Amino acid sequence: MGAALKMAKLPAVAPAAAVAERSLLRFLTCGSVDDGKSTLIGRLLYETGSVFEDQMEALTRDSARFGTTGKDLDFALLVDGLSAEREQGITIDVAYRYFSTPRRSFIAADTPGHEQYTRNMATGASTADVAIVLVDARKGLLPQTRRHSYIVSMLGVRRVIVAINKMDLVGYRQEVFDAIVRDYTALVPELGFAEVHLIPLSARNGDCITGPSSAMPWYQGPALLNVLETIGTEARDDAVFRLPVQWVNRPNLDFRGFSGTVASGSLSTGEAVTVLPRGRQTTVTGILGPDGDQKTARAGEAVTLTFADEVDVSRGDVIVRAGHVANGQRVIAARLLAMTDTPITPGRGYLVKIGTSLASARLVSLDHAIDVHTYARQPAENLPMNAIGLATLRFETDVIATSYADCAVLGSLLLIDPFTNEAAALGIVEAVDGEKPAEQSSTSTALARIGAALMSAGLLSPRSDETAVLRDLTGRMGNAALTGLLIGVIAGAPGAGVIGLAADLVLRPLVQMGLAAVWRAIDARRRGRADITISLDGGGI
Amino acid sequence: MTSRGHLKALEAESIFILREVVATCEKPVLLYSIGKDSAVLLHLAMKAFAPGKLPFPLMHVDTTWKFREMVSFRDETVKRLGLDLIVHVNEEGVKAGVNPIASGSAVHTDVMKTQGLKQALDKYGFDAAFGGARRDEEKSRAKERIFSLRSADHRWDPKAQRPEPWALFNTRKRKGESFRVFPLSNWTETDVWDYIALENIPVVPLYFAKPRPVVYRNGALIMRDDERLPLHPGETVHMKTVRFRTLGCYPLTGAVESTAATLDDIIAEMRASRASERQGRVIDHDGASSMELKKQEGYF
Ligand SMILES: Nc1nc2c(ncn2[C@@H]2O[C@H](COP(=O)(O)OP(=O)(O)OP(=O)(O)O)[C@@H](O)[C@H]2O)c(=O)[nH]1
Ligand SMILES: [Mg+2]
């Protein structure tokens, strides 16, 4: 597997469930302890008329009993629903809340700020389209702000709202806001976000939640709810049909169907398919959907397929269109978030759930761990709880996996401890061994080649600390301009010939900048978006 | 109105969950409580396993105090769809004379529902039980996983829930442990009614307004469904046009005055309502975190 691929941090598309409906937005709140996440969700529920009268009465009683806000209503108590949470005034586990405005419906995941419960934050982030990262205006960026921002980025959330909260406690002063904007903006290139909005708020007093705040006339941008109502969601542009087989439906001798939810792409009756990993071919004779027979199966739909031949198909197999080249994998590189007290350790065996398959694997090596303060890569012996790192996993059998960027369903995994049955880590697939070039876009192919060329030229070290260099570079010259230059060169590169030509001019800064940033920018370009939008006032800066 | 696309996405998610259980658990059961959520859950299960029959039975833990119309609706549904239904009654509770009126709602619910459910799960050895609970119903339910692991004695530990990222359910468990699985977790009350209208799903007629015999008691309108409900001195039975937003044991379920007699009326009324659906449930008000406590002890 190429080091260039290992380094690349690929953007991902939103999970299938989030895509089917344009007017539905899934978001989470995250950030450090006590920054006001639950208060903000409670405030949003209240402001959108989603709190019923009997629940308001209960809130009044609860605020008097457990409240942290003196005589005022403690909106966090609308959301912190467990008795342990109410007693301690903290969030322990993610709460899912549902509300809507005339423009959109929302599924909000309020996640805990405590480091101890990072796994619950990641659970909430895995299905989100948008993240609201809260920052306490008095405290600025804290280690948890950085950790949560990294996890959000790792799990493929490309759109972020930075809510700089508790502005009431800093006299609603613009300098405080501006300083935090500067600090956060410096993190953004490393995180690969497509869109970042920064908004000053007071969740407790309701400033800038639904409209402009008279306390902050200096802020001309949109209020939080306006951004939530209008922010874009990721569109899927995936032509590859993939259906992980979930269950074999054999009610009687006359019917044998294969049930599952389409992970990507679409397929119609009469088309030829291949069943991976064994590679058997057949033709689709029928598609049974929730409303009966249908002609075509599309991403996100739960269907049952019937075939022309008696092929051997079982749970964990993946049905693809015939001609789609993909092999079962034995080795993958996965970025992991450790979730239990027992550290993730090289040499240990795990059960890995990817899609509908559950396979035994050994953790061969830990390539690096991420320092959440600096995002630098460091060598590591193991990954203790809440640590993040890149690992190589070797399966005992062939497994169908893709990179998370290609397909969230077949690119996300759970690492399960076979003895305790606990999920020891969640992870995303960053690279698969033996991936056929046909599976990649021409730009990815060109990049992979450039990466390989850089490696052989000794210009690229897998362990080079891109972060520090990048920060330095960004300070000295416009990052967007630099990225634009590189993208222009690389996206237009037909093949290896250009590499030699471009090497002197471009490759040195490219290496210094780190391929990660380039990957992200190229992908954004490929999808026809601006590289990164950072907005304070509805427009870019 | 929830858009059709959104309802179809919820439908697909629920079907995925139903299939995941059947593919990975040994002996699932669908806990059928006859109300609108159970009706939707059953409808989704029929779709998930079509053209076959349901690969698991339904089970109703009968407290013996359900509305008569609920019981007849249950039996008709089972006949119409050719289902396999287990009705379990906690006979010990019946023998001990436990009932919602003399014993109070807390004891009645614990003995006849929670203990009854645990008895039945143990008796048949079910290792996964589907329930129709939604996260929007109550603040502790908003915190529960779709696959909720229960210990061998059926307890829920809210502080040690398994992470549940994406739709990657960790369905591994030890012998004796079981799952409560909630395929409707992400549905709201509005979604449920909109889906019932979209799919024409039959529901118990008690949801629709009609003149019914009710008494005012402790601020609630209680329907006198049979002679077992004693009248307190000074209480009289009135015929009032009422309906129910949730259904449970009749002495513990408050009716609402309403003229909503069609699905469209119900949906319009719900949208205008300023009270939550569970307000009419006497059992939820037994204590500040009574739902969470009941769940820890093995309730749904
Ligand atoms: N003055 C002021 N206080 C706030 C504001 N937002 C939240 N708080 C207070 O900050 C405290 C913590 O708020 P929470 O909403 O519980 O914080 P959280 O981020 O959800 O905390 P965890 O979930 O435990 O990480 C509470 O006492 C809130 O009332 C704000 O805008 N201004
Ligand atoms: Mg909180």
What are the residue ranges of helices labelled H in B25-104? 36-48, 68-81, 91-95
Confidence band of B244 (pLDDT split at 50, 70, 90): very high
pLDDT at A68: 84
Mean pLDDT is lowest, of A25-29, A214-218, B234-238, for B234-238
A217-222: long-range contacts, CB 8 A cutoff, minimum separation 24: A218/A174, A219/A174, A219/A177, A220/A537, A221/A197, A221/A535, A221/A536, A221/A537, A221/A538, A222/A197, A222/A537, A222/A538
Whole-number Å distance, alpha carbon A161 to ligand 1 midpoint, is 17
Tokens at A38, concatenated: 């639950």
The rounded Å distance from CA A184 to ligand 1 centre is 20
**B8-26 pLDDT, tens per residue?**
999 999 999 999 999 999 9
pLDDT at position B160: 85
- Check CB contact under 8 Å for A24 and B6: yes
**Tokens 């619950």 — which residue?**
A120
With cut-offs at 50, 70 and 90, classify the pLDDT of residue A159.
very high
State whether A421 and B289 contact (CB < 8 Å).
no
pLDDT band, very low/low/confident/very high, at A317 (cuts 50, 70, 90): very high
Q: Which residue reads 């639904």 in tokens?
A: A210
User: At residue B97, what are phi and psi to the nearest 5 degrees?
Assistant: 75, 20
Looking at residue A95, what is its pLDDT? 94
pLDDT, tens only, B56-91: 999 999 999 999 999 999 999 999 999 999 999 999
Burial label for B208, CB within 10 Å (0-12, 13-18, 19+), is middle
CB-CB under 8 Å, B188 with A98: yes
Give CA–CA dist B170/B155, Å, rounded. Answer: 18
A101 touching B, CB under 8 A? no
The Cα–Cα gap between B10 and A130 comes to: 19
Which conformational region is residue A34 in: left (phi greater than 0), alpha (psi within -120 to 50 degrees), or beta? left
B159, B161, B274: residue with CB nearest A53: B274
Contact A82 B51 (CB under 8 A): no
| Across A370-377, average pLDDT | 94
Confidence at residue A39, expressed as pLDDT on a 0 to 100 scale: 97
Q: How long, in residues, is chain B?
A: 300
Residue A33, ligand 1, Cβ within 6 A: yes
B23-44: pLDDT as tens digits: 999 999 999 999 999 999 999 9
**Contact B13/A17, CB-based, under 8 Å?**
yes
Q: Residues B228-234: contacts with CB within 8 Å, 24+ apart?
A: B228/B65, B228/B99, B228/B101, B229/B101, B230/B101
A353 touches chain B (CB under 8 A): yes
Beta-carbon separation of B13 and A81 below 8 A: no
Residues 277-316 of A with CB under 8 A from B: 288, 290, 300-302, 304, 315
A351 vs A427: CA distance, rounded Å: 13
ipTM given for this complex: 0.92
DSSP string across A453-517: HHHHTT---TT--HHHHHHHHHHHS-HHHHHHHHHHHHHT--SHHHHHHHIIIIIHHHHHH-HHH
Cα A406 to Cα A299: distance, rounded to the nearest angstrom: 13
- Token pair, residue A75, equals 């909106």
Q: Which residues contact A182 (CB under 8 A, 6 or more apart)?
A: none
Backbone angles phi, psi at A498, to 5 degrees: -65, -30
Contacts of B80 (CB under 8 A, 6+ apart): none
**Comparing A480 with A412, which gets the higher pLDDT?**
A412
User: Binning pLDDT at 50, 70 and 90, where does residue A471 land?
Assistant: very low
Label residue A327 by pLDDT band (50, 70, 90).
Answer: confident
Q: Are A260 and A303 in contact (CB under 8 A)?
A: yes
Higher pLDDT, B89 or A481: B89
Mean pLDDT (whole number) for A505-532: 40
pLDDT digits (tens, 9 = 90+) for A208-231: 999 999 999 999 999 999 999 999
Does A2 score more than 70 pLDDT? no
Q: What is the pLDDT of residue A506?
A: 34
Tokens for B1, please give them. 């109105």
CA A33-B290-B153 angle, to 5 degrees, is 95
Dihedrals phi, psi of A501, to nearest 5 degrees: -60, -45
Whether residue A263 contacts residue A225, with contact meaning beta carbons closer than 8 Å, is answered with: no
Please name which ligand lies nearest the alpha carbon of A66: 1
Please give the model's pTM, rounded to 2 decimal places.
Answer: 0.85
- Candidates A232, A240, A353; CA nearest to A299 is A240
pLDDT at B280: 63
Q: How confident is the model at residue B147 (pLDDT cuts 50, 70, 90)?
A: very high
User: Is the predicted pLDDT of residue A321 greater than 90, yes or no?
Assistant: yes
- Residue B154 backbone dihedrals phi, psi, to 5 degrees: 70, 15
Name which of A24, A81, A105 is nearest B142 (Cβ-Cβ): A81
A121 → chain B, closest CA residue: B163
What is the per-residue pLDDT for A461? Answer: 37
The distance of Cα A155 from the centroid of its chain, to the nearest Å, equals 2
Residue A541 has pLDDT above 50, yes or no: no
Measured between CB atoms, does A362 come within 8 Å of chain B? Answer: no
The minimal CB distance from A52 to the residues B186, B275, B293 is found for B275
pLDDT of residue A255: 95
The count of other CB atoms within 10 Å of the CB of residue B221 is 19
Is any ligand 1 atom within 6 A of the Cβ of residue A469? no
CA-based nearest distance A278→chain B, Å: 21
SS3 A276: strand
The answer to whether the CB of A169 is under 6 A from ligand 1 is: yes
In a mutagenesis test of the B interface, which of A126, A288, A298, A350 is the best target, namely the one with the most B β-carbons within 10 Å? A126
| Contacts for B255 with CB less than 8 Å, ≥ 6 apart | B212, B214, B220, B221, B222, B223, B240, B242, B243, B244, B280
Residue A367 pLDDT > 70: yes
Phi–psi pair at A260, nearest 5 degrees: 180, 170
Q: Show the CA angle centred on residue B157, arms to residues B164 and B248, nearest 5°.
A: 95
* CA separation, residue B218 to residues A52, A86, B147, B222, B252 (Å): 21, 28, 37, 9, 11
* Whether the predicted pLDDT of B260 surpasses 80: yes
A105-110 vs B178-181, strand pairing mode = unpaired
Backbone angles phi, psi at A251, to 5 degrees: -70, -25
Task: Tell me which chain B residues have a C-beta less than 8 angstroms from the C-beta of A24.
Answer: 6, 9
The structure tokens listed for A537 are: 């006032």
Give the burial class of B297: count Cβ atoms within 10 A of its Cβ; 0-12 exposed, 13-18 middle, 19 or more buried. middle
Of A205, A162, A198, A199, nearest to A46 (Cα)? A205
Task: Give the best residue of A245, A414, A416, A426 to mutate against chain B (max B CB count within 10 A).
Answer: A414
Answer whether A421 sits within 8 Å of B170, measured CB to CB. yes
Is pLDDT larger for residue A318 or for residue A83? A318
Determine contact: A62 vs chain B, CB below 8 A: yes
Between the two ends of chain B, the Cα-to-Cα distance in Å is 29
Regarding the beta carbon of A36 and ligand 1, being less than 6 Å apart is answered: yes
- Mean pLDDT for A150-161 is 96
If phi over 0 gives left and psi between -120 and 50 gives alpha, with beta otherwise, what is residue A208? left
Q: Are A8 and A515 in contact (CB under 8 A)?
A: yes
Q: What is the pLDDT of residue A380?
A: 96
Dist CA A501 CA A523 (whole Å): 23
pLDDT mean over B106-134: 94
Asked which of A496-510, B15-29, B139-153, B264-278 is least confident by mean pLDDT, the reply is A496-510
Chain mean position to CA B128 = 16
* Phi/psi of residue B183, nearest 5 degrees: -65, -20
Whether the per-residue pLDDT at A252 is higher than 70: the answer is yes
Q: How many CA atoms lie within 13 A of A215 on its CB side?
A: 16
Chain A interface test: which of B54, B166, B286, B297 (most A C-beta within 10 Å): B166
Provide the CB-side half-sphere exposure for A338 (13 A, CA): 20
- Residue B297 is predicted with a pLDDT of 78
Q: Please say if the pLDDT value at position A22 is more than 90.
A: no
Radius of gyration of chain A (CA): 24
Crossing angle (nearest 10°) for helices B68-81 and B36-48: 10
- d(Cα A534, Cα A160) in Å, to the nearest integer? 10
Tell me which residue in A80, A94, A302 faces B16 most closely, judged by beta carbons: A302
**In this model, does residue A130 exceed pLDDT 60?**
yes
Q: Average pLDDT, whole number, for chain B?
A: 92
Report chain A's terminal Cα–Cα distance, integer Å: 39
A459 residue type, one letter:
L
DSSP label of B162? P
pLDDT at site A476: 34
